[in-house]
Amino acid sequence: MDAAEYGRMVDMYTASGAVASAIALAKDLGVLEILYKSEVPLTSQDIADKGQLKERYVRELVSALVTGGVVQVDSTSTLFHINAEFKPVLREKSIFTRMVPYFGEKYGSILKCCTKDGPAGVRYSEHPVLFDMMDEMRAETQNQLLDRDVLPVVPKLQERLNSGIDVAEIGCANGTLILNLCARYPASHFTGSDVVESVLDIARSRASDRGISNSEFITLNVCHIPDSPKKHYDWIFLRDVVHDLPDPEGCLSGIYRMLRPGGYFSMLDFGLQGSLHDNVGKVGISYMYASSTFICLPESYQEQQSAALGPCFGVGKARELLLKAGFVLVHEHHSGWNEGEVHFVCQRPE
């Protein structure tokens, strides 16, 4: 092993996680926000005063961020700032470092899940802070997602939404995406659904706070859609739900039944390309597998048996599941800005 390879391994095994923890702490303490807002470089005392913090801790923390390349320092090693071009990236991506304390909170229960005689899984609802985290991650990029990767990709969707259609989102959580659509398309009606009642209450109160009257939120277990659903829809969408389910096949055939003939279904999910071996050394993919171990797999064991796909189930398996459910795969859109996200545009034949 050469020195470069050794350095890379040490960085990966120890330093990356520690830097992520420091970013998470700086974000939660408001240190990053103070640095974003400041027009001039600040001392650790300035930061501490602005944030009602202890200077010595602030100095240690920003030093970790400086040496990690996240925050910049002047030649006297006392004045801190964040480069203007780094700010938007850090603001968006630092949200993901909240995973660090979240993984820590769940660590003990995941340890037990992994053991042979331990529990099968842990539900999202047992650690509801995940919903706030997802919400924060989504809020930042929801318009980008809709304008680039969702609305223009489904045939004539915007025209039809303007004239008025019935839309459903499955696994809508706090309703970020569907409420955005409700406000854009007042002539259409939107049904958000999730298996967790408490998140639907949040979605309902957001709708009422925003004066949105073209939405409803219903409890629905998408793995148990009746043979003859009461209501049918023109467009159904879901994002990052299928890989979390015990029965993805049951879910997709249920959605097929909920669609009107000719209606569209949008499945947005992480679309791993290639085999595990093809992805060796890709840290972003490693992040997905790690998140799956702590979040997705445990969630999918909500029933005795689970397909336990995990988010890295791959585009090939996704196509197979969609075709098996009876959909025509109209288009496969790979996001240009949100690496790895794929929008499978499907249609129920007329």
Q: Which residues sit at the interface with ligand SAM, rule CB under 6 A?
A: 124, 134, 138, 170-173, 194-196, 199, 220-223, 239-241, 244-245
DSSP state of 47: H
CB of 130 to ligand SAM, least distance (A): 8
End-to-end, the C-alpha distance of the chain in Å comes to: 60
CB of 147 to ligand SAM, least distance (A): 16
What separation in angstroms does the CA of 309 have from each of 286, 298, 332?
16, 11, 20
CB of 44 to ligand SAM, least distance (A): 36
DSSP-derived 3-state class of residue 117:
coil
Cβ nearer to ligand SAM, comparing 29 with 202: 202
Residue for token digits 């820590």? 104
CB of 173 to ligand SAM, least distance (A): 4
Q: In which element (H, E) is residue 192 found?
A: strand 189-194
Residue 226: Cβ within 10 Å count: 9
Cβ nearer to ligand SAM, comparing 310 with 314: 310
CB of 240 to ligand SAM, least distance (A): 4
User: Which parts of the chain fold into alpha helices (H)?
Assistant: 3-10, 16-28, 31-37, 44-51, 55-67, 87-93, 99-114, 129-144, 157-163, 176-184, 197-209, 248-258, 283-291, 297-300, 315-324
Cβ nearer to ligand SAM, comparing 248 with 263: 248
Cβ nearer to ligand SAM, comparing 171 with 314: 171
Would you say 342 and 333 are in contact if contact means Cβ atoms under 8 Å apart?
yes
| Distance separating alpha carbons of residues 146 and 120, to the nearest angstrom | 35
CB of 204 to ligand SAM, least distance (A): 15
Measured at CB, which residue is nearest to ligand SAM? 171
Cβ nearer to ligand SAM, comparing 64 with 251: 251
Cβ nearer to ligand SAM, comparing 53 with 196: 196
